[in-house]
Structure 1
Amino acid sequence: MRVLGVDPGLTRCGVGVVDVAPNRTARLVHVEVLRSPADQALELRLLSIGRGLIRLLDEYRPDAFAIEQVFAQQNVPSVMGVAQISGIALHQAAERGLPVGLHTPSEVKAAVTGYGNADKRQVTTMVTRLLGLTEAPKPADAADAIAIAVCHAWRQGPARAAGSGPATPAQRAWAQAEAAAKRR
């Protein structure tokens, strides 16, 4: 399964493309951070990031699309930018008929590290290990986008749906955290 993961942002939008085999091993296909200058008009920033997403969707032709779910925080302008980019990204996925997954930051962290409150360094370290990379993806937006794609594939992939193959320790911890959250 090929998944394109997006860590939405108006200044930096991380995009990671991974191939995940039925045995849950993941291989990095591409990672990139789309950027737009903070001093540019909003509509041009949205256009620039949107065009970058279109280019990557057309080039890598994923089977699924995953994006970090927008969550409320104190910085309203930052949330607005993330929400606007998320809307553009979701629109592009829908136009291509791709199945879409929205994943919370804690869900993504739990999926790749086994701990829903992991910090960015821990996520980056685990993404580097899981994909057998020689160096960590930088900046953190790149590692986050890869983690989002891996999280989605593990959650939606054929191995999970079929229940075949042993789960990794991180996947077991994630499943436990997910079950606990549903009980609340």
Structure 2
Amino acid sequence: MLILGLDPSLTCTGWGVVRAEGPRLSHIANGQVATDTKASMPERLLHLHDALIAVIETYRPDRAAVEEVFVNKNPKSTLKLAHARGAVLTACGRMSLPVAEHSPRIVKKAVVGTGAAEKQQVQAMLKVLLPAANISGPDAADALAVAIADAHLGGH
């Protein structure tokens, strides 16, 4: 089972693909899709959508897992995140990819064992769980964590 994990952001969306065979996980690929902050919102969302379509076409995952929106203190930031999630979910829908959504707390608990884990703890566990992975950056690391959590949760 190939699982595409996605960590949506308008600035830089992370993605990661893992293979889950029973309890065994292996790293397939990961990356980040950055958008041009000077481009218009429609252009940025289209770029994000098209880049994720290319990832899905390349790796042909069986399902996707997306981190749920958490409400920021800044409503404008939350709205931008929601737009990015819309582009991510639309790309999955266009490719008929089933999508599970997981809260950041559930992802941390599934990967580290506690929902209050810090980013550094999650990244340290990724090195243990996927030792061969060369992770592209923090957004890709978050996406791999989402994919791993989904594997542990069985897509629920």
User: What's the TM-score once normalised by structure 1's chain length?
Assistant: 0.80
In structure 2, the residue matched to 1:9 is 9
AA partner of residue 7 (structure 2): D
* Pair 1:153–1:41, CA change in 2 (3 A): same
In structure 2, the residue matched to 1:125 is 124
In structure 1, the residue matched to 2:138 is 140
Aligned with 2:151 (options 150, 153, 168): 153
AA partner of residue 8 (structure 1): P
Gaps of 5+ in 1: 162-184
User: What's the TM-score once normalised by structure 2's chain length?
Assistant: 0.94
- Written as runs of structure 1 = structure 2, the 5 A alignment for 1:107-126 is 107-126=106-125
In structure 1, the residue matched to 2:35 is 36
SS state of the match for residue 127, structure 1? helix
Quote the RMSD (CA, aligned, Å): 1.6
Aligned-residue offset at 1:133:
2.9
AA partner of residue 82 (structure 2): A
Query: For residues 43 and 17 of structure 2, what CA distance do their matches in structure 1 show?
Result: 25
SS state of the match for residue 30, structure 1? strand
Which is richer in strand? 2
AA partner of residue 142 (structure 1): A
Higher relative contact order (CA 8 A, sep 6+): 2
Which is richer in helix? 1
Number of residue equivalences: 156
Aligned-residue offset at 1:134:
6.3
SS state of the match for residue 14, structure 1? strand
Aligned-residue offset at 1:128:
1.4
Query: For residues 36 and 79 of structure 1, what CA distance do their matches in structure 2 show?
Result: 17
Q: Which runs of 4+ in 1 moved over 4 A?
A: none
Query: For residues 147 and 66 of structure 2, what CA distance do their matches in structure 1 show?
Result: 8
**What are the superposed Cα offsets for residues 17-52 of structure 1, whole Å, 9 maximum, x if unpaired?**
110111x11111110000012122111111111111
Query: For residues 83 and 101 of structure 1, what CA distance do their matches in structure 2 show?
Result: 16
